Amino acid sequence: MADSRELRSRATIHAGGEWLAASSGATREILDPADASPFAVVAEGDEKDTDLAVAAARRAFDAGDWPHTPVAERAALLRRVAGLLVRDRETLGLLESRDAGKTVEEGRVDIDCVADAFRYFADLVAGEAPGRVVDAGSPDIHSVVVHEPVGVCAMITPWNYPLLQASWKIAPALAAGNTFVIKPSEITPMTTVALIDLLVEAGLPTGVANIVTGPGHTVGARLAEHPDVDLVSFTGGLISGTKVAQAAAVTVKKVALELGGKNPNVVFADACETEEGFDTAVDQALNAAFIHSGQVCSAGGRLIVEESVRERFVAELARRAQKIRLGRGTEDGVECGPLVSEQQRAKTEDFVASALAEGAELRCGGKRPEPSPRRPGSGYFYEPTVLDHCHREMRVVREEVFGPVLTVETFRTEDEAVALANDTEYGLAGAVWTADAGRARRVAGRLRHGTVWINDFHPYLPQAEWGGFGKSGVGRELGPAGLAEYRESKHVYQNLAPKPVRWFSG
C-alpha cells in the first residue's frame, strides 16, 4: 500500500476507475503540521476535473450495476472494507497523524471507528425488511413504501477527522446503492485517497467511488452546484456550509450539513463532592477541550461550572493543562499534537487576544511553547489555554475557535445553567455533570443540542444519530437516519382488482 501511494503521489484524482493527475497539471504539497515540512504531493483539481468525476459517477449510477446489486452483496463489500481497514490500521493511523497532526494513538482509534462505521451500515441494511407495507383498507390493494438510492452523492469533508468524516458519508451512501464523488480537505487528503484504494481492492465496481483533491472554492463549489449531483453532504464551517446550501438550492438537490458547534460542559457542585468525582470531572473537562488540540466540532470549549466550586475546579484544571505534553504526534509520550496549519494557529491566537482585551483572565497557556526536539519551532504548536471570568458577550464564547482554548463561565442555579448552555446559535453537543439523577435527566431534556452526555464527554456510537440543532446543521449522520439521508422513499400502490371508476359519464 505504501509503495502504490508513493507512486501515485501526484495522481490523486480518481474518476471512472483511473488515477489521474489534474487536468491543469497543478499540484499541492501536503505539509506535516509538526514541522511544516512537505511529506506528500497531490493533484490540485479544478472544475474540469470535478465534471469528469461527476460524469463517471453519473454513468455508474444510471447504467451500472451497483444501485441494483442485492443488499446482501453490498453489505458483504462493506464488511470487506472494514477488514482491510483493520489490516492497514498501523499504516493508516500513522498517515492520519502526519496529515492532521494528531497523535498516532488518536489516528489508530480513528481507524477503528471507521471500520465500525462500515460494519454498522453493513449490518443495518442486511437486516432490513424489503419494504414497509401500508394498510390501504382493502384486500384488493397492495401498498408498500420502498427505499431507493438518491443517485450521485457529492461529499465535502473537513481536515480535523479526514477519514472518520469520510466514512460517515461513504459507508451509508454505498450501503444504500449510491455512487459518489468526494472532495477531502485540501490540507489533509491522504487517508481519503487511501480509502479509495481499499474500496477498489474490496471489489467496488468502476465509477462508483470517485475523488477529486483540490480547494473548496473550485472543486467544492462545483460539486454543490452541479446539475448531475443529486445530494451534497458537507461537514465544515458555518460560512462555507451556507455557501454550499445556497449553491445547491439552484438545482433543488438534497442537502446535509454538519457545521460544528460551541459546546457547553456544565458542571454542578454535587459532581465534585467526593475526591473521585472531582478528579473525574476535571479530567473529563481536559478531554472535552483539548483532545486533538481542540480541533473537534464537539469540543467542550465552554466550561460552565457552579460558582461554589469554580475556583478550586479551575485552579486544578489549569494546573493539569500546563502539564499536557505537546509534540510531534508520531513520538511516544506525546499527548497533544500541533494545530493543523499556521492559519489555524493564527486564528486561535486572535481569539485569545480578543478575549484578554474583553476582560478574560488567563489561567494558563495563551502562547506558543518553547521549541524542543519533539516540538520543532517550525511546527504549529499552541499551548492549552484556560480563560477564566468569561461571559456571553465575548467573541471567544460565541464563536467556534477550533483550537486548544477553554473558556470558563459560572452559574448559581439550575435554570441559569441551562440558560447559559443554550445561549448559542449552535446546538451540536453538550454535557452535564451531576450526582443527582433527577437533575441529570431534567437538564439533559432541556438542553437544545443534538447529543447530550451525562457524566461523560465525547463518546459516540455509530448506531446513534449525530447532528445538531440551530446553526450546527441540517440532517443527521450515523444511525438509521444517517442511512435515510442517502435514500429516497417511493410509494408503490398496486390495485389487484382494477375496475372502472365512472367518475365521468361519457
Summarize pLDDT for 176-200 with one digit per residue, the tens.
Answer: 999 999 999 999 999 999 999 999 9
Give the single-character DSSP code of 493: E
CATH of the domain at 297: 3.40.309.10
Residue 271: pLDDT band (50, 70, 90) is very high
In angstroms, the CA 197 to CA 14 distance is 9
Mean pLDDT of 96-113: 96
Check whether residue 251 and residue 151 sit in a common domain. Answer: yes
Residues 6+ apart with CB under 8 A from 281: 267, 271, 272, 313, 433
Check whether residue 180 and residue 326 sit in a common domain. Answer: no
Q: pLDDT at position 10, please? A: 66
Asked if 249 contacts 280 with a C-beta cutoff of 8 angstroms, the reply is no
CATH of the domain at 202: 3.40.605.10
User: For the chain, what is the domain count?
Assistant: 2
DSSP 76-104: HHHHHHHHHHHHTHHHHHHHHHHHH---H
In angstroms, the CA 296 to CA 302 distance is 13
Q: Is 342 part of a structural domain of the chain?
A: yes
Is 416 among the residues known to form the active site? no
Check whether residue 121 and residue 219 sit in a common domain. Answer: yes
Q: Is 411 part of a structural domain of the chain?
A: yes
Q: Is 462 part of a structural domain of the chain?
A: no
Residue 5: pLDDT band (50, 70, 90) is very low
Q: If you average pLDDT over every residue of the chain, what do you get?
A: 96
Residue 104: pLDDT band (50, 70, 90) is very high
Q: Is 1 part of a structural domain of the chain?
A: no
Q: Look-up: residue for cell 475523488?
A: 211
Q: pLDDT at position 2, please? A: 41
Q: Is 175 part of a structural domain of the chain?
A: yes
Summarize pLDDT for 130-178 with one digit per residue, the tens.
Answer: 899 999 999 999 999 999 999 999 999 999 999 999 999 999 999 999 9
361: cell is: 483572565
The SS3 assignment for 347 reads helix
Summarize pLDDT for 197-250 with one digit per residue, the tens.
Answer: 999 999 999 999 999 999 999 999 999 999 999 999 999 999 999 999 999 999
Check whether residue 279 and residue 340 sit in a common domain. Answer: yes
Q: pLDDT at position 506, please? A: 76
Q: pLDDT at position 56, please? A: 98
Judged against a pLDDT cut of 50, whether residue 7 lies above it is answered with: no
Q: First-to-last CA distance in the chain? A: 73
Check whether residue 92 and residue 182 sit in a common domain. Answer: yes
From the list 44, 96, 225, 258, the catalytic residue is 258
Q: Is 8 part of a structural domain of the chain?
A: no
Domain that holds residue 430: 262-452
In angstroms, the CA 423 to CA 425 distance is 7
Residue 3: pLDDT band (50, 70, 90) is very low
Check whether residue 320 and residue 176 sit in a common domain. Answer: no
Judged against a pLDDT cut of 70, whether residue 85 lies above it is answered with: yes
Q: Is 503 part of a structural domain of the chain?
A: no
Residues 6+ apart with CB under 8 A from 435: 268, 270, 271, 273, 277
Q: pLDDT at position 11, please? A: 81
Summarize pLDDT for 481-493 with one digit per residue, the tens.
Answer: 999 999 999 999 9
Check whether residue 352 and residue 394 sit in a common domain. Answer: yes
Asked if 164 contacts 98 with a C-beta cutoff of 8 angstroms, the reply is no
Mean pLDDT of 382-392: 97
Residue 4: pLDDT band (50, 70, 90) is very low
Summarize pLDDT for 352-364 with one digit per residue, the tens.
Answer: 999 999 999 999 9
Share of the chain above pLDDT 70, in %: 98
Check whether residue 233 and residue 155 sit in a common domain. Answer: yes
437: cell is: 439523577
Summarize pLDDT for 445-481 with one digit per residue, the tens.
Answer: 999 999 999 999 999 999 999 999 999 999 999 999 9
Q: What does DSSP say about strands 179-183 and 209-211: parallel, antiparallel, or unpaired?
A: parallel
Check whether residue 412 and residue 298 sit in a common domain. Answer: yes
Check whether residue 220 and residue 148 sit in a common domain. Answer: yes
Check whether residue 254 and residue 282 sit in a common domain. Answer: no
Answer positive or negative: Cα dihedral of 346, 351, 352, 358. Answer: positive
In angstroms, the CA 224 to CA 103 distance is 33
Q: Is 3 part of a structural domain of the chain?
A: no
Summarize pLDDT for 407-449 with one digit per residue, the tens.
Answer: 999 999 999 999 999 999 999 999 999 999 999 999 999 999 9
Check whether residue 248 and residue 276 sit in a common domain. Answer: no
**pTM for the predicted model, two decimal places:** 0.96
